Amino acid sequence: MTDPDRARMRELQAEYERRGDAVGWFEALYREGVANPDLIPWARMAPRPELEVWRQRTRRDLQGRACLVVGCGLGDDAEFLARAGGRVTAFDIAPTAVAWCRRRFPSSSVSYVVADLLSPPEGWRRHFDLVLECNTLQTMRTGARERAMASVASFLAPGGRLLVICRGRDPEEPLGELPWPLTRADLAAFGAHGLVEESFDDVVSEDVRRFVVEFS
C-alpha cells in the first residue's frame, strides 16, 4: 500500500462524509479498485494472519456452525472459515465487493450478501455461532461505531462467539487518520450488549499494532 493509494481512500471517505453519507465511500473505493486493487488497503488476497493464528491456537470446532463475516471485503476470511467447515454468510455494504467475491470464488459454499451493518436483516438476530469482525469498526467514527457494535453483538446466538481483529492504540495515543485504531476500553463497550471478553491479544502484525479479542 503506497501513500498515494492510502490518501485516495481518505479522500473518498472525507468526500462522502461531507455529503452526510458515512458509508458510501466503500462502494466508490471498490469501483475504483476493480482496475487497481492496490487502492483497497485491506485487500490482501489471503486470510488475515491473525485469524489463522486464532484458529490454530483455539482449534475451535466450526464444522456445520453458522458463521457470519462482517464487511467481508474480497472474501478471503470467509473462504478460510468455510474451509474449516463453517456454514458461512459474508456480507458487505458495497455491491461491487460482493460481486467481486462471487467472481473470485465461483464454486464457493459461502453465501455472499449485500447488507448494511447499521441496518441488518432481522433474520440474522441471535442466529450465528461465530461472528468475525475484522477491520470494519476502525473505519467508523464514534457514533456509527457504537451502532455497529450493537448490531454485531445482536448477531450472536446463545453460546456464540465473536472474534474482533482491529488496529489498536493506548488511550493517550493520538487517534490519527483513517483507519482509526481502537482502545481496549472502546472494545469493552461490547459488555453493554451482554458480551464477555474471553481472550485479549495485543500483537504486532505487518508493522501494525492490532488487537485480537474473543467475546462470548
pLDDT digits over 80-129, tens only?
999 999 999 999 999 999 999 999 999 999 999 999 999 999 999 999 99
Q: Write the CATH number for 160.
A: 3.40.50.150
**pLDDT band of 175, cuts 50, 70, 90:** very high
Q: What is the mean pLDDT of residues 161-170?
A: 98
Indicate the pairing of strand 156-167 with strand 128-134: parallel
Nearest C-alpha neighbor of 67 from the set 133, 130, 134: 130
Would 30 be classed as within a structural domain? no
Q: What is the mean pLDDT of residues 42-55?
A: 96
Would 38 be classed as within a structural domain? no
Joined grid coordinates for residue 151: 448490531
**Rg, Å, the chain Cα set:** 16
Would 32 be classed as within a structural domain? no
pLDDT exceeds 90 at position 185 = yes
What's the mean pLDDT when you consider all of the chain?
A: 95
pTM of the model: 0.96
Would 3 be classed as within a structural domain? no
Nearest C-alpha neighbor of 39 from the set 53, 60, 25, 54: 25
- For 94-127, letters b (16+ CB in 10 Å) and e give bebbbebbeeebeebebebeebebeebeeebeeb
Would 21 be classed as within a structural domain? no
Max Cα–Cα distance, the chain, nearest Å: 47
pLDDT exceeds 70 at position 3 = no
What is the per-residue pLDDT across 23-47, written as a single tens digit (0 to 9) for each? Answer: 999 999 999 999 999 899 999 999 9
Would 27 be classed as within a structural domain? no
Would 176 be classed as within a structural domain? yes
What is the domain range of residue 60?
44-215
DSSP, res 120: -
Would 83 be classed as within a structural domain? yes
CA–CA distance, 209 with 216 (Å, rounded to integer): 23
Q: What is the mean pLDDT of residues 178-190?
A: 97
Identity of the residue numbered 80: F
The pLDDT assigned to 2 comes to 44
Q: What is the mean pLDDT of residues 168-191?
A: 97
Going by C-beta distance under 8 Å and a sequence separation of 6 or more, which residues neighbour residue 173? 181
Count of structural domains within the chain = 1
**pLDDT band of 189, cuts 50, 70, 90:** very high
